[in-house]
Amino acid sequence: MTTRRTAVTALAATALLASAAPVWAQQKTVSVYTAHRADIVDKLIPEFEKATGIKAEVVKAGSGDIINRVKAERNNPQADVIWSIGGELLEANTDLLEAYRPAELDQIDPAFVSSDVWIPYTGIVTVFMVNKNKLKPEAYPKTWLDLAKPELKGQISSAGADKSGSAYIQLATFLTIYGDTDEGWEKYASILKNFAIAGSSGAVPRFVNDGEAAVGLTLEDNAYNYVKGGGPVDIVYPEDGTSALADGMALVKGAPHPDTGKAFIDWALSPAVQDVGVQELGRRPIRKDGKPLAGLKPLSEIKLVDYDITWAGENRDAFLERWNDLLLAR
């Protein structure tokens, strides 16, 4: 009888441990959806895991695809955190997000804070990247409208605004300068006809560096990475204006592991991680105590537009519908 009771007790204990193990594992896991550059993900995620003891499961995709995936999973969320996608995409989809106030939110420059739902991650600037072997300095496009020059037809690489957060920022930046009017859209159509649409935003700087395109519309940090690597490229800041804003991160509403999601966001805002964003990514610091990269042009010397992230988010669907119509008609 004692032997049987012992066996039953052992079986019950084994069953309890088996059922508890997955719960424990979930508590030490975070699911991260990110549009971050693959090399930076590969560098930072092991450091996060070492610092926190939390296992990160990462899904890498374009910004638009990430939002679409989170929407599709709305009734059964799989992601805990969205990391490093365009702020206007987060702003347009706050119904998918859970508000979270990080411990060091007061260390973020207020200029980059535009929401109480999503959190700034790094500062990004839209630029033209030019291949020096394909264009002489005097032929560099200096304004957005210069992109309409006939000699640049098929020589301008850009990601699709419907797939890429950075490409949508480019579109919204142009409309901020020239207006969401028929005239403004006609001007945009004049440059769109010269675009070669790349499959992803990450491909754009590579095409320019490799000479497959003369000009690329990209983020400053992407272009800087090739400049730093000795590529035959220059960075041009459009004289008629460009945007400087934050990409962001956020806790997903209904996240399966909200506590580890919050831990990830806190870690990403730490000085050490933010310094990687500046020194290795070439991005602008969002922390008040952050120091900008010496090799980049000071923001005070760049003509910056008053980019309204709420306006860009609220009008995203309408702008993309018109963008698609123009793309098909060109």
17, pLDDT greater than 70: no
**Quick one: pLDDT at residue 1?**
47
Q: What is the mean pLDDT of the chain?
A: 89
Percent of the chain with pLDDT over 90: 70
Any idea what the CATH number is for the domain that residue 92 is in?
3.40.190.10
| Mean pLDDT across 34-49 | 92
Asked if 49 and 163 sit in the same domain, the reply is no
Most confident of 149-153, 272-276, 284-288: 149-153
Q: Which residue has the tokens 């957005």?
A: 144
Contact (Cβ atoms closer than 8 angstroms) between residue 303 and residue 243 = no
98, pLDDT greater than 90: yes
Give 103-129 pLDDT, tens digit per residue. 899 999 887 888 889 999 999 899 999
| Mean pLDDT across 10-14 | 39
Asked if 197 and 70 sit in the same domain, the reply is no
Domain enclosing residue 189, as ranges: 125-244+300-329
Query: Measuring CA to CA, which residue among 283, 282, 207, 237 is closest to residue 128?
Result: 237
290: left (phi over 0), alpha (psi -120 to 50) or beta: beta
Tell me the C-alpha distance between 134 and 148, whole Å.
17
Asked if 223 and 252 sit in the same domain, the reply is no
Give 207-241 pLDDT, tens digit per residue. 999 999 999 999 999 999 899 999 999 999 999 99
**Quick one: pLDDT at residue 2?**
43
What angle, rounded to 10 degrees, do the helices at 258-268 and 38-52 form? Answer: 110
Between CA 187 and CA 192, with CA 190 as vertex, the angle to 5 degrees is: 110
Tell me the C-alpha distance between 59 and 258, whole Å.
17
| Mean pLDDT across 247-260 | 96
**Quick one: pLDDT at residue 26?**
45
Asked if 170 and 223 sit in the same domain, the reply is yes
| Total residues belonging to the chain | 330
Asked if 232 and 186 sit in the same domain, the reply is yes
Asked if 111 and 240 sit in the same domain, the reply is no
Terminal Cα-to-Cα distance of the chain (whole angstroms): 85
Tell me the C-alpha distance between 197 and 170, whole Å.
13
Asked if 16 and 113 sit in the same domain, the reply is yes
**Quick one: pLDDT at residue 137?**
97
What is the pTM (predicted TM-score) of this model? 0.75
Asked if 6 and 117 sit in the same domain, the reply is yes
Residue 259 has phi, psi (to 5 degrees) of: -65, -45
| Mean pLDDT across 313-321 | 93
Total of domains in the chain = 2
Asked if 149 and 234 sit in the same domain, the reply is yes
Which amino acid does the sequence have at 174? F
Tell me the C-alpha distance between 14 and 151, whole Å.
73
Q: Which two tokens stand for residue 288?
A: 């008040």
| Mean pLDDT across 18-40 | 69
23, pLDDT greater than 50: no
**Quick one: pLDDT at residue 14?**
38
Under the banding of pLDDT at 50, 70 and 90, the label for residue 92 is confident
